[in-house]
Chain A
Amino acid sequence: GAVVSQHPSRVICKSGTSVKIECRSLDFQATTMFWYRQFPKQSLMLMATSNEGSKATYEQGVEKDKFLINHASLTLSTLTVTSAHPEDSSFYICSAVGRGSLIGADTQYFGPGTRLTVL
């Protein structure tokens, strides 16, 4: 089956620094990748939709200047949390939909997630 990886799996950083999270589709080309955030005991919240070669579409309330998304190729999307603060500590999960599938209409394959802790 399709595999999506994320790196790093865990990161601890100081307040004010920037953190980059990579999301890769390992055995398929992903035309669309989604970035989610999950706080403890809460559901997944969509942050943004990332289409290869174009600007990401951010959900209401998500600061695009703080959460920089780059979908540079059909297998890689990156999320950079800039000037991270303790309230940004969360579980960040990406998902990918393969080429040839309708966006969201076929299976979304999830990465394993990245746990970010900002001190």
Chain B
Amino acid sequence: GQNIDQPTEMTATEGAIVQINCTYQTSGFNGLFWYQQHAGEAPTFLSYNVLDGLEEKGRFSSFLSRSKGYSYLLLKELQMKDSASYLCAVVSGGYQKVTFGIGTKLQVIP
């Protein structure tokens, strides 16, 4: 089976930096997605990590350590519009099944 853990809620201040962690246990790991989801909307793609290390895309960065079963999403210069749920999703198995974590609800406050 698979197990994906991430904090359920976080609060951060506008302009600050926040790190959302995700740990996972799975067999046949192939990669890890981060998605952003606003309430009532479908998820939107943020990043996909296959190899260890940090990948940066503007204000968003994602890190992966396969040996530790660990990833984080780093959001810099937080804006109010960043208030959303952030979903960690693991790709595994022969037909590349994607399993989502429960999501971290981030609230950005002034």
Contact = CB atoms under 8 A, between A and B. Distances in A.
Among A91, A102, A103, A115, chain B packs the most CB atoms within 10 A around the CB of: A103
A46 B42 CA distance: 14
A107 B48 contact: yes
Contacts, number: 55
Given A42-B102, A43-B101, A44-B100, A107 B43 contact: no
B98 A34 contact: yes
Contacts of A43: 87, 100-103
Contacts of A113: 41-42
B97 A49 contact: yes
Nearest to A44: B100
Interface residues of B, number: 24
Nearest to B31: A105
A104 B97 contact: yes
Contact of B96 (A45, A103, A107): A103
A91 B85 CA distance: 16
B41 A104 contact: no
B17 interface: no
Contacts of A108: 33, 45, 98
A110 B100 CA distance: 14
B9 to A, nearest CB: 11
A83 interface: no
Interface string A72-115: 00000000000000000001010000000011111111111101
B54 interface: no
Interface in A4-25: none
A111 B42 contact: yes
Contacts of B43: 44, 93, 110
Interface of B: 30-31, 33, 35, 40-45, 48, 50, 87, 89, 91, 95-103
Interface of A: 34, 42-46, 49, 57, 91, 93, 102-113, 115
9 contacts: A44-B100, A46-B98, A102-B96, A104-B91, A105-B31, A105-B96, A110-B45, A111-B42, A112-B41
